[in-house]
């Protein structure tokens, strides 16, 4: 079953250009997005409506703007019918498309939205192996492949010129992928400290706190910490670190897990410091972003969009404070 907060996060990303425009030149009173469902469950439709309602109730997301949606539903996979229905949505001047479909329908939607330069965020079901077909296209997955997150993590480490790193991982993290990071670290002469956690009982033990304390006692030599764990384990690791005052300005914590939500992080109740969450890497290289901005300009002539490009380039990953 799709989680409500996950879909709310999707719609927040769709609303992001609106936040920027509102802060400078204003925005129309109403913004319409498209919703495309294939054999939807009651939970999925309810979650979508709830997400839209929550965004409209929160004036800090789209101040003075009401988010509307037009919905199309198919009872079974039919790529030809999907094409017709999406074309119908596009004639309504939708600003973006959110979809929950099968793999075959998802392929059609990605092709159409890439051609029409329409932002498309899809929520893959557990049974759907729906990968982004064109990395420089207009489709984004709410559950990107872990290999993409790993690449984003390596990019971050290289951009920040880290020389020492702590890697904390659990059994949910593929050890072969961990080996890839270790090999990369060896190639670049990174000084790496690797800690494995096996259970919640261990996280609550004096033994684990002793491990964290050993990091803290190294005179901040290892102050770049990467957590490669399940959401539940990640929350517990950060909770323990926060209790030991290890989540602050002298530490940089990075989480590389596509399932981590704002709700998970809020439950830790961190008051100082910054956590970087790598959920999906969005490339700003190439002409696709310029095409997208040009499309926005056509939809809303008179608004200046020149400030968006440098803003996106300055922040290749999302920061959660």
The least confident of 205-209, 211-215, 243-247, 309-313 is 309-313
CA distance 187 to 162: 13
- Is 130 in the same domain as 153? no
Q: Which two tokens stand for residue 250?
A: 């002298």
pLDDT greater than 80 at residue 188: yes
pLDDT higher at 114 or 6: 114
Q: What's residue 47's pLDDT?
A: 85
pLDDT greater than 50 at residue 303: no
- Answer yes or no: are the C-beta atoms of 239 and 181 closer than 8 Å: no
Q: What's residue 221's pLDDT?
A: 67
190 occurs within a structural domain:
yes
| Segment 53-65 mean pLDDT | 82
- Is 96 in the same domain as 183? no
CA distance 159 to 293: 26
- Is 50 in the same domain as 160? no
Q: Which domain holds residue 272?
A: 146-278
Q: What's residue 200's pLDDT?
A: 65
pLDDT greater than 70 at residue 138: yes
pLDDT greater than 60 at residue 90: yes
Percent of the chain with pLDDT over 70: 67
The least confident of 81-90, 185-194, 303-312 is 303-312
CA distance 55 to 247: 30
Most confident by average pLDDT, 82-91, 118-127, 248-257 = 82-91
- Is 263 in the same domain as 195? yes
- Is 155 in the same domain as 274? yes
- Is 104 in the same domain as 28? yes
- Is 103 in the same domain as 154? no
- Is 217 in the same domain as 166? yes
Alpha helices in the chain (DSSP H): 4-24, 42-57, 79-90, 103-115, 146-159, 175-187, 200-203, 206-216, 231-243, 262-266, 288-299, 308-314
pLDDT higher at 101 or 214: 101
Return mean pLDDT, the chain: 74
- Answer yes or no: are the C-beta atoms of 107 and 55 closer than 8 Å: no
- Is 183 in the same domain as 156? yes
Q: What's residue 15's pLDDT?
A: 43
Q: What's residue 154's pLDDT?
A: 82
317 occurs within a structural domain:
no
pLDDT greater than 50 at residue 311: no
Q: Could you read off the pLDDT of 266-299 as tens digits, one per residue?
A: 776 666 666 777 765 445 555 555 665 565 556 5
Q: Which two tokens stand for residue 257?
A: 């897990």
The least confident of 90-99, 124-133, 162-171 is 124-133
321 occurs within a structural domain:
no
Q: Sign of the C-alpha dihedral, residues 224, 228, 231, 234?
A: negative
CA distance 86 to 229: 38
pLDDT greater than 80 at residue 38: yes
The least confident of 53-62, 66-75, 200-209, 293-302 is 293-302
- Is 163 in the same domain as 287? no
Q: What's residue 297's pLDDT?
A: 57
- Is 69 in the same domain as 161? no
Please report which confidence band the pLDDT of residue 248 belongs to, taking 50, 70 and 90 as the band edges. confident
CA distance 131 to 48: 22
pLDDT higher at 34 or 270: 34
Please report which confidence band the pLDDT of residue 69 belongs to, taking 50, 70 and 90 as the band edges. very high
List Cα–Cα distances, 246 to 167, 192, 213, 230, in angstroms.
15, 18, 9, 20
Q: What's residue 16's pLDDT?
A: 45
Q: Which two tokens stand for residue 113?
A: 């939205």
- Is 122 in the same domain as 193? no
Count of domains observed in the chain = 2
| Segment 305-314 mean pLDDT | 38
Here the CATH number for the domain that contains residue 233 is 3.40.50.2300
157 occurs within a structural domain:
yes
86 occurs within a structural domain:
yes
Helix (H, G, I), strand (E, B) or coil at 16: helix
CA distance 235 to 233: 5
| Segment 35-59 mean pLDDT | 88
CA distance 39 to 279: 27
318 occurs within a structural domain:
no
SS (H, E, C) 235-260: HHHHHHHHHCCCCCCCCEEEEECCCC
pTM check: above 0.75: no
């Amino acid at each position: 079953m799709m989680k409500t907060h996950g879909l709310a996060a999707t719609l927040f990303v769709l609303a992001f250009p609106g936040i920027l425009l509102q802060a400078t030149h204003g925005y129309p009173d109403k913004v319409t997005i498209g919703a495309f469902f294939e054999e939807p469950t009651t939970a999925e439709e309810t979650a979508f409506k709830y997400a839209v309602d929550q965004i409209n109730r929160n004036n800090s997301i789209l101040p003075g703007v009401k988010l509307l949606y037009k919905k199309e539903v198919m009872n079974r996979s039919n790529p030809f019918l999907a094409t017709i229905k999406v074309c119908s949505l596009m004639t309504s001047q939708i600003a973006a498309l959110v979809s929950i479909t099968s793999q075959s329908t998802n392929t059609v939607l990605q092709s159409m939205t890439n051609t029409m330069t329409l932002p498309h965020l899809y929520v893959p079901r557990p049974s759907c192996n729906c990968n982004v077909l064109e990395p420089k296209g207009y489709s984004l997955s709410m559950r990107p492949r872990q290999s993409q997150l790993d690449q984003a993590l390596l990019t971050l480490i290289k951009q920040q010129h880290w020389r020492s790193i702590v890697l904390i991982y659990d059994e949910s993290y593929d050890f072969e992928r961990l080996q890839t990071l270790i090999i990369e670290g060896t190639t670049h002469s990174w000084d790496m400290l690797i800690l494995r956690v096996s259970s919640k009982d261990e996280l609550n033990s004096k033994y684990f706190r002793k491990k964290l304390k050993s990091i803290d006692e190294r005179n901040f030599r290892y102050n770049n910490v990467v957590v490669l764990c399940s959401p539940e384990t990640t929350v517990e690791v950060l909770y323990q670190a926060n209790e030991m005052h290890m989540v602050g300005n002298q530490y940089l914590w990075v989480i590389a897990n596509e399932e981590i939500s704002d709700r998970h992080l809020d439950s830790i109740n961190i008051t100082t410091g910054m956590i970087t969450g790598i959920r999906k890497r969005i490339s700003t290289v190439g002409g696709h972003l310029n095409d997208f901005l040009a499309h926005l300009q056509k939809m809303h002539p008179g608004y200046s969009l020149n400030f968006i490009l440098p803003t996106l380039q300055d922040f290749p990953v999302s920061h959660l404070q």
